[in-house]
């Protein structure tokens, strides 16, 4: 039996050898191609690499088959050779004529098209199609929709062309139903929920996106928790894990942050290890303000390192590396800190790569970095640039990573962003204590055509007033650190038909425009220059108005140039808790027009928070002076007014010079105000963003130019006015809403009171 098998194998091998020899000895006399519709025969012949007159071999046949499959143009390939004829049979891969999406409303088709691999004009590849389905699912999951369903459908179009349809069922957003913490003994769950960015899904968060499950956001939460604990003394704090359990109904996630708080530490010895020979250690030590025995605060140490880095950079050491070396003593529960000032090798920026910005132009993002290719690597500048990009508020997500290259002294900066809408249309109804109920329609685009410019326009209609406005601001004019703004406005204000109660027996129409240019002198100090051109028209009944009002009637033109300096060291532009703000301004009217005056104003605010930033004390003071020049009197529309938000407890224009006969106020030329306010928690969930307030205001307003020869006909004194009150502040997506009840404690008999005050404004 075994001998017979051996004989058969020898016979088969001999036959194959003879066949191969016979075939290899035969030339190709003709090439015939069958089955091709779109692809020309000559193209196929090029791919197979065989020509008439060539010797045929099994090896060349296999190479030809592999070559045709490698083009991805064919689903099936068969090559046969007999009697000198090479027959090539192919079945072409369908041609994608169109790619469409159905059922997608939350992610635009243009965004999906840019992310998938299947595109019109190429051959259909089923492996790509399967990968695209998974890619679309992943995009929806990243936007918080984990119940999404995606299918691909192929429709025949004739001539071997197909239409690819991605059928999408988006499903609802998969929110975060509950957030729990394990291992936290010193801080409650509610306190830690206020620290992290991810929030629980609640009915009042319909305008937010932080209540959906996002792995990237959770990674940032871990950083926020660590930063918080390190700032209150817990040097050993560690986030052990974060588990995300999807409910069986896929309606939401249960998040559990497992933490190890460790022990609370105090500062031990704080010293400096200065490795720069030409810099005295005493120059560095002056930046250290913390003392031995105080609660350990890693943020404070990192802030000191940043200040030293900035200082030494200005001394000619841009490549210096400064960092705190933390040395905990677990038995004594103290942390010794060594501020290391190290001379590191110079590192340069190789490339800055930006991805994901479909709308925003690259240079709009690049200019926020304050660093460019070829510059010396500066971590503080990069971190500041990352914060600047976040402050643009153009992106839902931002990831900035430093990547080493094949060159030791070159690093890449890779920036990956995910854009969000920067346009908003507002339709608001509200109440303003200065003018009663009002309606407002507004439009704001914060990133016009991806250029970073601001466009705003709107109309507001009140009980006795109407105003229109519009303008464009370029925060980086000529790609420099210059902010150029152009704004136009028109207001018509008819302020009542009687006297008293804060109303005036005249109306004013004002039309004009303002252009301004501003720039940063330092990170905290900015300067702005502006030009104002407007025309005012005052009118009223000639038989009953105050003599001091009647002399103001008519048309007049104001052409003014002014400037302001702003020194801002607050920690937030919306609701600061620490820091101070000083603004000084001057304005001169008389560059043309028939109004001439010189105006000065100074405003200062100080904020201090305590008890873990739950309570905030605000102290503020302001003063102003305006006087006519070249013999001109200061008109009523250019004078200062106090009341409402500027002096709570009093009506708008409720204090200051006032006609003794008609009881009409007409503003003043000199004023001052001082105020103190304490903000505190009301015990409501922090997600409501509502805080309580108590306040005390004081100030005065006096002096008013008059053409009348009897200035004693109006009240005018420097007497102090004072009030106290309470209220609350609600931080909304639109603007902070501030509601106060004020009660005058010191007033004059002719002053006008107003107990209730409401303000929609981002002003501090």
363-397: per-residue pLDDT in tens? 888 888 878 888 877 766 787 788 888 878 788 88
Partners of 46 in beta bridges: none
Angstrom distance (rounded) from CA 232 to CA 737 = 31
Q: How confident is the model at residue 435 (pLDDT cuts 50, 70, 90)?
A: low
* Tens-place pLDDT, residues 256-289: 999 999 889 999 999 999 888 778 888 888 888 8
Mention the CATH class of domain 175-260. alpha beta
Q: Going by CATH, does the domain composed of 20-92 fall within 3.10.20.310? A: yes
CATH superfamily of 266-343: membrane protein fhac (3.10.20.310)
* Residues 133 and 153 sit within 8 Å (Cβ to Cβ): no
pTM of this prediction exceeds 0.85: no
CATH number listed for the domain at residues 348-419: 3.10.20.310
User: Which CATH homologous superfamily contains domain 95-169?
Assistant: membrane protein fhac (3.10.20.310)
Summarize pLDDT for 191-235 with one digit per residue, the tens: 898 889 888 887 766 656 677 888 888 888 999 999 889 888 898
3-state secondary structure 716-755: CCCCCEEEEEEEEEEECCCCEEEEEEEEEEECCCCCCEEC
| 50 closest CA partner among 58, 39, 61 | 61
In b/e form, how buried is each residue of 645-667, taking b as 16+ CB within 10 angstroms? Answer: bbbbbbbbbbbbbbbeebebbbb
Residue entry with tokens 């106020």: 665
Q: What is the pLDDT of residue 445?
A: 86
3-state secondary structure of 67: helix
Residue-wise pLDDT for 79-135, tens only, equals 888 888 888 888 878 888 899 999 998 888 888 988 898 888 888 888 888 999 999
The predicted structure's pLDDT at residue 69? 80
Digit-coded pLDDT (tens) for 505-521: 668 889 999 999 999 88
Residue that wins the pLDDT comparison between 237 and 714: 237
Give the model confidence (pLDDT) of 62-91 as tens digits: 888 888 888 777 878 888 888 888 888 888
Question: Chain-wide mean pLDDT for the chain?
Answer: 83
How many Å apart are CA 108 and CA 113, to the nearest integer?
9
Give residue 575's pLDDT band: very low, low, confident or very high (50, 70, 90). Answer: low
Identity of the highest mean pLDDT range in 211-215, 338-342, 479-483, 686-690: 338-342
Highest mean pLDDT among 118-122, 336-340, 685-689, 735-739: 336-340
Q: Where is mean pLDDT largest: 142-146, 275-279, 596-600?
A: 596-600
Is the separation of the CB atoms in 621 and 732 below 8 Å? no
> Stretch 682-698: mean pLDDT, rounded?
84
3-class SS of residue 33:
strand
CATH of domain 495-760: 2.40.160.50
Scan for tokens 């705003």, then name that residue.
Answer: 456
Check whether 541 has a pLDDT greater than 80: no
Same fold, 95-169 and 175-260: yes
CA dihedral 486, 439, 637, 758 (to 10 degrees): -110
Rounded to an integer, what distance in angstroms lies between the CA atom of residue 736 and that of residue 678?
A: 16
Q: Provide the pLDDT for residue 499.
A: 36
Place of tokens 């009697």: 83
3-class SS at 227?
Answer: helix
Comparison of pLDDT for 486 and 498, the residue scoring more: 486
Give the DSSP letter string of 479-496.
GSSEEEEEEEEEEEEE--
Of 221-225, 251-255, 429-433, 551-555, least confident by mean pLDDT is: 429-433
DSSP 651: -
Rg for the chain, CA atoms, rounded: 37
Torsion on CA atoms 349, 350, 355, 359, rounded to nearest 10 = 70
Per-domain boundaries in the chain: 20-92, 95-169, 175-260, 266-343, 348-419, 495-760
Q: Which residue has the higher pLDDT, 408 or 607?
A: 607
The candidate with the shortest Cα–Cα distance to 84, out of 157, 140, 32, 139, is: 32
């Amino acid at each position: 039996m075994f001998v017979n098998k051996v004989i058969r194998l020898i016979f088969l091998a001999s036959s194959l050898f003879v066949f191969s020899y016979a075939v290899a000895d035969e030339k190709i006399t003709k090439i015939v191609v069958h089955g091709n519709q779109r692809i020309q025969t000559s193209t196929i012949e090029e791919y197979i690499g065989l020509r008439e007159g060539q010797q045929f071999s099994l090896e060349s046949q296999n190479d030809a088959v592999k070559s045709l499959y490698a083009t991805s143009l064919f689903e099936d390939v068969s090559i046969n050779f007999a009697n000198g004829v090479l027959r090539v049979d192919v079945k072409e891969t369908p041609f994608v004529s169109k790619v469409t999406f159905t059922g997608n409303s939350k992610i635009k088709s243009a965004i999906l098209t840019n992310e998938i691999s299947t595109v019109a004009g190429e051959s259909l590849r089923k492996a790509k199609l399967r990968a695209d389905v998974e890619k679309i699912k992943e995009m929806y999951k990243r936007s918080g929709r984990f119940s999404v369903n995606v299918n691909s459908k192929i429709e025949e179009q004739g001539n071997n062309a197909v239409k690819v349809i991605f059928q999408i069922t988006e499903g609802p957003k998969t929110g975060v139903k509950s957030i729990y913490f394990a291992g936290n003994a010193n801080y409650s769950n509610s306190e830690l929920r206020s620290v992290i960015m991810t929030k629980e899904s609640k009915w009042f968060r319909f305008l937010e996106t932080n209540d959906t499950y996002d792995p990237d956001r959770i990674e940032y939460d871990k950083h926020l928790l660590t930063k918080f604990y390190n700032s209150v003394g817990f040097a050993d704090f560690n986030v052990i894990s974060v588990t995300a359990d999807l409910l069986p109904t896929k309606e939401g996630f249960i998040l559990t942050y497992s933490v190890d708080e460790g022990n609370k530490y105090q500062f031990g010895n704080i010293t400096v290890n200065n490795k720069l020979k030409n810099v005295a250690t005493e120059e560095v030590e002056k930046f250290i303000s913390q003392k031995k025995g105080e609660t350990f605060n890693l943020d404070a140490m990192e802030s000191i390192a940043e200040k030293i880095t900035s200082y030494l950079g200005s001394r000619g050491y841009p490549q210096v590396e400064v960092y705190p070396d933390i040395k905990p003593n677990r038995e004594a529960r103290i942390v010794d800190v060594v501020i290391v000032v190290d001379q590191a090798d110079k590192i340069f920026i190789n490339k800055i790569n930006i991805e994901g910005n479909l709308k925003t132009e690259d240079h709009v993002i690049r200019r926020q970095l304050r660093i460019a290719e070829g510059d010396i690597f500066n971590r503080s500048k990069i971190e500041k640039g990352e914060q600047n990009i976040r402050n643009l508020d153009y992106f839902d997500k931002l990831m900035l990573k430093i990547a080493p290259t094949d060159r030791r002294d070159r690093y890449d900066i890779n920036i990956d962003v995910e854009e969000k809408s920067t346009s908003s249309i507002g339709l608001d109804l509200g109440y303003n204590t200065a003018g009663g109920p009002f309606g407002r329609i507004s439009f704001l685009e914060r990133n016009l055509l991806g250029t970073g410019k601001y466009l705003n326009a709107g109309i507001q209609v009140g009980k006795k007033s109407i105003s229109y406005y519009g303008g464009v601001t370029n925060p980086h004019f000529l790609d420099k650190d210059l902010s150029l703004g152009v704004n136009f406005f028109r207001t018509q204000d008819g302020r009542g038909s009687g006297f008293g109660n804060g109303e005036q027996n005249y109306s004013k129409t004002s039309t004009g425009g303002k252009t301004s240019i501003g720039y940063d002198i330092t990170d905290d100090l900015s300067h702005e220059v502006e030009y104002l051109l407007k025309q005012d028209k005052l009118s009223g009944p000639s038989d009953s108005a105050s003599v001091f009002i009647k002399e103001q009637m008519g048309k007049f033109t104001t052409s003014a140039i002014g400037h302001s300096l702003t020194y801002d060291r607050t920690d937030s532009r919306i609701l600061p808790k620490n820091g101070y703000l000083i603004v000084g301004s001057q304005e001169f009217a008389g560059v043309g027009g028939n109004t001439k005056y010189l105006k000065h104003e100074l405003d200062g605010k100080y904020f201090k928070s305590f008890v873990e930033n739950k309570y905030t004390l605000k102290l503020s003071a302001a003063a102003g002076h305006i006087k006519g020049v070249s013999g001109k009197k200061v008109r009523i529309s250019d004078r200062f007014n106090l009341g409402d938000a500027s002096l709570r407890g009093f009506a708008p224009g409720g204090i200051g010079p006032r006609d003794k006969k008609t009881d009409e106020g007409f503003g003043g030329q000199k004023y001052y105000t001082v105020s103190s306010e304490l903000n505190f928690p009301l015990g409501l969930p922090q997600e409501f963003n509502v805080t309580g307030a108590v306040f005390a205001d004081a100030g005065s307003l006096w002096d008013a130019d008059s053409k009348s020869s009897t200035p004693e006909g109006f009240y005018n004194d420097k007497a102090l006015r004072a009030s106290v009150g309470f209220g609350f502040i609600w931080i909304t997506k639109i603007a902070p809403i501030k509601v106060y009840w004020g009660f005058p404690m010191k007033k004059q008999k002719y002053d006008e009171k107003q107990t209730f005050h409401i303000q929609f404004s981002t002003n501090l």
